[in-house]
Chain A
Amino acid sequence: MTDQLSALTTIFTEFYYWITVVLMFLIHVGFCMYEVGASRYKHHQHTLMKNTMLIPLVTVTWFLFGWWIYWAFPTGPGLAPSIMNESAALITDESLFSAAWYVPTSDLMGTNLNDHISGVFWAAFLLFSWTAASIVSGAVIERITTFAFGILAIAIGSCFWVIDAAWGWHFDGWMLKILGYHDAYASGVIHAVAGGFALGVLAVLGPRIGKFSSSGEPRNIGPRNPWLVTIGLFLIYTGFWGFYAACNIPIFNLGPEYGMEGVTFWTATNIYVTPTTLSAITFNFLMSLSGGLLAGYVISKGDPFWTYSSGLAGIICASAGNDLYHPIQSFIIAMVGVWVAYKMHYWVERKFKIDDAVGAVAVHGYAGVAGLIICGFVLNGYPSSGYSVGAMWVGTDYAPINPLGMFIGAIIMFGVLGFLPGWILAKILHGMGKLRIPREVELAGLDYTIMEDAKSDEKAVSSSSR
């Protein structure tokens, strides 16, 4: 920052992302309210604590190794060479975007007068990590131990989602180069992977007591506080909007970046450094929200829980291509995503006896997968990166966006980095006897002793004021 213009650019960028971080905090507030609203009275406080404690656990581990993984793993390793150093090894050299700068002992991971932005980027991605873990949190309420959930939250929040982000979201990711993967606002990178992970955990964890009758018929355990659910989802929408802004680079000159001599083109870009506009994502965010709400209302016959969730599912489904879609395309894709999520939720529930307490696998997982597959068709032929057309990265080419690549990408997100690790970790925790709370506690309520203590405190206060 040696002149005023570069100082302004740096501080604007720093402030832009900082604001998105604050907005995204609302996602977590929303998830907490939503989960408490969906849980039964006797489990409220435990449900809230479980979701809250993922904040420090994911933050600490994100500081220790999560952020490093994002910068180290774009090559696989071993799947496609980096466009920066032409090596397929982990990116830990001295290059500009190397993981070497983000080990926890690096002096860039602290108050540093020569680096104004690393902490803000770190935080923006951290908020994505909380979201990934929080998605899982809702699905497993009322029967998982806080210990087990803490381990699972760290696994999805500081490890598996960030591997897929390095592979499919980083401008140097191997999935862009080989598959033509495109997921601008994280249909797969956050939502499908977290949904798949939640399904893997649920398959081992089992349903809440009483969820299925002895003949296997599912029973509805509806939200206990619809108002908290409502406000929670509105807050998630709001934070999601902030997330969209966080996924963009607000101002960038693409001419020199793509190696085009004499060309100046200032624009906002998506996370892949390909052009989009704030106008485009505002159109598409709101149209996909609307498509989701309208479809959810009709499909669920006006059920508020599903209608609100469908607004979210609609955005999630359209998110992969919302940097480029026409708003009406976004609207229709959102409707399709909601239909897929709703139908899949009940089919999986009946067929496999999966008790997804808040519909997290449906809203995030199935809608996310549907969004990736649809994106492969609608954006078929678009370049997955601008770097393949310029002189700057000669020798390394990127596959264009295509249906097969996006389909394989969806399997990687939901299955390979989502379901599989979730299932394996849950099996290990189950084997250790640490996954599920005792039956007696589940029946009595996780908050039983807290409520009992509160009652005795209340009694003491009443008797002293007689």
Chain B
Amino acid sequence: MSGHSAEEVRAHVKIYMMVFGALAVLTVVTVAVSYLDIAVGPAMVLALLIATVKGSLVALFFMHLKGEVRAILWTLLLTAFFFLVLMSVPLSGYLDSTSL
């Protein structure tokens, strides 16, 4: 992204504003969903799904991951893998204890 010309950056400004709007709307949706009368499990999945969409928007457009070089994408893929391993450790223990 650092190599982009002024014209390309100018074109991106509109996208930044659209992403800002989407993030604000999704934040309202996150809070609205929490007031719905749904069980903890599905509520958790829904909230994390919305957060993942919001996080992806930030990473893709504000952090310019969209169109980023392979060195960074591979680094992040490896990071995501180890992050999931970290999350799976307590979850696997919980699933074992509940015999699911």
Do chains A and B stick together as partners? no
